[in-house]
Copies of this chain bind each other. A is one copy, B any other.
Amino acid sequence: MTEKKFTTALIVGAGAGLSASLARVLSREGIKVALAARTTDDLHDLAVEAQAETFACDASKRGDVEKLFANLDATVGAPEIVIYNASYRTRGPFVELDPQEVEKSIAVTAYGAFLVAQQAVRRMLPNARGVVLFTGASAGVKGYPQSAPFAMGKFALRGLSQSMARELHPQGIHVAHVVIDGGIKSARRAEPADKPASLLDPDGIAASYLHIIHQPRSAWATEIELRPWVEKF
- Tell me the A residues contacting B by CB distance below 8 Å: 1, 62, 93-95, 97, 99, 102-103, 106, 110-111, 114-115, 117-118, 121-122, 125, 139-140, 142-148, 151-170, 172, 174, 185, 196-201, 203-205, 207-208, 211, 214-233
Contact check, B97 vs A118: say whether CB atoms are below 8 A apart: yes
Other-chain residue from B155, B163, B207 in contact with A156 (beta carbon distance below 8 A): B155
What is the CA–CA distance of A228 and B232 in the complex, to the nearest angstrom?
23
Which residues in B have their C-beta under 8 angstroms from that of A158?
143, 155
Smallest Cβ-Cβ distance to A222: which chain B residue? B225
Which residues in B have their C-beta under 8 angstroms from that of A215?
204, 207-208, 226
Contact check, A161 vs B143: say whether CB atoms are below 8 A apart: yes
Taking the full assembly, how many copies of this chain does it contain? 4
What is the CA–CA distance of A146 and B168 in the complex, to the nearest angstrom?
9
- Max chain B Cβ within 10 angstroms of own Cβ: one of A140, A157, A219, A231: A219
Decide yes or no: A148 and B169 within 8 Å by CB, A106-B106, A200-B218 being known contacts: no
Which residues in B have their C-beta under 8 angstroms from that of A218?
185, 197-201, 204, 228-229
What is the CA–CA distance of A111 and B151 in the complex, to the nearest angstrom?
12
Contact check, A229 vs B169: say whether CB atoms are below 8 A apart: yes
Which residues in B have their C-beta under 8 angstroms from that of A144?
163, 166
Smallest Cβ-Cβ distance to A66: which chain B residue? B99
Contact check, B185 vs A197: say whether CB atoms are below 8 A apart: no
Which residues in B have their C-beta under 8 angstroms from that of A223?
223-225
Contact check, B219 vs A62: say whether CB atoms are below 8 A apart: no
What is the CA–CA distance of A125 and B169 in the complex, to the nearest angstrom?
40
What is the CA–CA distance of A165 and B207 in the complex, to the nearest angstrom?
21
Q: 12 other contacts beyond A152-B157, A197-B217, A204-B215, with CB at 8 A cut-off? A: A99-B115, A102-B111, A103-B111, A110-B152, A110-B156, A143-B166, A148-B164, A152-B159, A155-B160, A201-B216, A205-B219, A207-B214
Contact check, A95 vs B111: say whether CB atoms are below 8 A apart: no
Contact check, B219 vs A201: say whether CB atoms are below 8 A apart: yes
22 contacts between A and B (CB under 8 A): A94-B117, A94-B121, A95-B125, A102-B111, A106-B110, A111-B152, A140-B159, A143-B160, A144-B166, A147-B163, A148-B163, A152-B157, A155-B158, A155-B160, A166-B232, A170-B229, A197-B218, A204-B216, A207-B214, A208-B219, A208-B221, A219-B228
